Amino acid sequence: MSLSASILAARQLLQEAAHIAVLSGAGISAESGVPTFRDAQTGLWAHLRPEDLATEDAFRRHPQRVWDWYAERRASLAEVQPNAGHRALAEFQHRHPGRLTVITQNVDGLHQRAGSTGVLALHGSLAADRWLDPCPAGRGPTACDVARADPGRPPRCAQCGNWVRPAVVWFGELLPEDQLRQAEQAASRCDAMLVVGTAGAVYPAAGLAHQARAAGARLIVVNPHPSELDGLAQLRLVGGAAQVLPPLLDF
């Protein structure tokens, strides 16, 4: 089937769905210029080791190195914009209130910037900070804590020396309980799930696609390359998200 024929078939399937869940990954932001993780040449993990940069242990061993890497990613995010794929999802939500839930593994905030509401951000947010260890005073880091740090140095608490770290979910860490619970509810009650721009290699996020399928939802995968979730898909739309989502959701 050609891409345009598959888009038409998928569009029909979505039109019949009372509730749609979207599971997005790094690929949806690729056309905004944000690098993915696992693409062969351009993915971040093609040249860097996650265990050196995206674990609590890495931060404890080398806080400066990890802080610098996140500072670079934060700075480059300031230069990018949501693309037509993010916008198509947000516009669909506005036309059909309550019908589509966005579940994302992305920490780039582009779904939210495109205007999507109620986004379930399973892996946290690159824009936010939190303490590395629980704060004995029970407060979160403030802009003052961050501003007080030497330029370029990871901020620390003036009282106890606790480090400030990015509020993202690192390998080996638990997902935010409330977001995961809501994502599981959306996956088990949806009639159709759109799996967009994810390799489907990281759990528990990828498990949501299995959960949706097991509960009877139709799965549509949008990805220019094969993914680990292809076997669950009723339809595969082999193309980029910014190309495929606008005609798919134009109703």
Asked if 202 is part of the footprint of ligand APR (rule: CB under 6 A), the reply reads: yes
Span of 71-79, 111-119, 151-159, 219-227 interacting with ligand APR by CB under 6 A? 219-227
Asked if 225 is part of the footprint of ligand APR (rule: CB under 6 A), the reply reads: yes
Residue among 45 and 132 whose Cβ is closer to ligand APR: 45
Residue among 55 and 117 whose Cβ is closer to ligand APR: 55
| Residue pair 44/35 in contact by the 8 Å Cβ criterion | yes
Give the amino acid at 7. I
Q: How far is the CB of 239 from ligand APR (least distance, A)?
A: 7
Pick from 8, 19, 43, 130: which binds ligand APR (CB under 6 A)? Answer: 43
> Is 123 annotated in the active site?
yes
Residue among 57 and 159 whose Cβ is closer to ligand APR: 57
Residue 164's contacts (CB-CB under 8 Å, 6 or more residues apart) are: 129, 130, 131, 132, 141, 145, 146, 149, 154, 155, 156, 157
Cα-based distances in Å from 122 to 34, 145, 146, 201, 213:
18, 26, 24, 14, 19
Q: How far is the CB of 111 from ligand APR (least distance, A)?
A: 13
Q: How far is CA 242 from the centre of its chain?
A: 16
Phi, psi of 148 (to 5 degrees): -75, -20
209-212, long-range: CB < 8 A, 24+ apart: 209/23, 211/184, 211/187, 212/21, 212/187, 212/188
Asked if 125 is part of the footprint of ligand APR (rule: CB under 6 A), the reply reads: no
Q: How far is the CB of 34 from ligand APR (least distance, A)?
A: 10
Residue among 17 and 23 whose Cβ is closer to ligand APR: 23
Tokens for 20?
């749609």
- 97 DSSP assignment: T
Catalytic residue IDs: 123
Which residues of this protein are in contact with ligand APR, per CB under 6 A?
Answer: 25-28, 30-31, 36-39, 43, 50, 105, 123, 197-199, 201-202, 222-225, 227, 240-241
